[in-house]
Structure 1
Amino acid sequence: MMYIDEIMEHLPHRYPFLLVDRVTEIEKSKSIKGYKNVSFNESFFTGHFPDNPIMPGVLIIEAMAQLSGILGFVTVGRKPSDGLVQYLAGTSKARFKRPVLPGDRLCMESVIISERRGIWKFDCRALVDGEIVCVAEILTAEREV
């Protein structure tokens, strides 16, 4: 289990762009699970959409990328404070199955597919109440800053 203070050690993101609230499971070099509590107070709901609030799909992808980045950092035993970042480098096979609404808990899972020369590939999925809302392959690029 990883709580918000430790999550913030493994991600450079901060409010309003930190999209991982808790890591529930992590197996170094293999997989990670975590979640984002989606509150009606999220700033993006103001414009997406005022009468029908839905979490933007790009933020679901970003949340899965952030969770994957934590796994990458833990796997190499480094943190952003060591001068390392993981950029979202790409996504493929993304599919959205249902909307994510205020009050939902966005549960995410990421599994390492491969890593070559700092380019990580992850198989990700996001669920709400056990129902898949999004699947995607995500690439991150590990870089020194």
Structure 2
Amino acid sequence: MPQDILTDLNNLDLNKPTVDIEAIRTVIPHRYEMEQLNGIIKFDPENKIIIGYKDISNSEFWVRGHIPGRPLMPGVIMLEAAAQLCTYYYKKITQDDRFLGFGGIDKVKFRGKVIPGDKLILIAKNKELRSRRAVFDTQGVVDGKLVFEGVIIGMVV
């Protein structure tokens, strides 16, 4: 049984980012095919929540080869998008310029598909924040439905 979505998305304008791609690029180093965030909708350190999104287009690097004729966003790319959101949170809170990389993932479940034309809403709730480690509950939502969930552990590299 899937868990509830970590935050109420009904009170947010999912098409109006508070942080645009250019501002994200000042914090997140990923570029080209590995840039997996298009915007941040809500950054709420007081409640330890950040919400972002990725617009899935037909020009994604995986579309041509990940199930030709029926492209499905790979789960590992969904997790990468969530990890980039977590990194943004970590770097803005800690003001740490070091690279935060994957330290691990846990309790990951994929519950739906993500295809070109979808807006993947990414939610991260911070559970632990230290100088060299951060732990987040993460979720992906498309059209109000949970498509993945998991715990992402970030480690300073």
TM, length-normalised to structure 1: 0.92
Instruction: Describe the superposition over 1:80-137 as per-residue Cα deviations: whole angstroms up to 9, x where unpaired.
Output: xx4x111011100000001101100000100110123411100000000110000000
1:132 is aligned to 146
Structure 2: give runs of 5+ residues left out of the alignment. Answer: 1-17
- SS in structure 1 of the partner of residue 50 of structure 2: strand
Q: What is the 5 A alignment of 1:81-120?
A: 82=97, 84-120=98-134
Give distance in 1, aligned partners of 2:21 and 2:138. Answer: 21
CA drift of 1:75 comes to 0.6
AA of the residue aligned to 1:66: Q
Q: Which residue of 1 aligns with 2:83?
A: 65
Q: Does 2:88 align with 1:74?
A: no
Deviation per CA, 1:53-88: give whole Å up to 9, x if none.
00000000110000010000011124xxx4x11101
Deviates more, 1:26-35 or 1:94-103: 26-35
SS in 2 for 1:46: coil
TM-score normalised by L of structure 2: 0.85
Higher strand share: 1
Amino acid at match of 1:90: G
Q: Distance in 2 between matches of 1:98 and 1:73?
A: 30
Q: CA deviation at 1:51?
A: 1.6
In structure 1, runs of 5+ residues without a counterpart are none
Is 1:26 the counterpart of 2:40? The answer is: no
Q: CA RMSD for the aligned pairs?
A: 1.1
Query: How many residue pairs get matched?
Result: 139
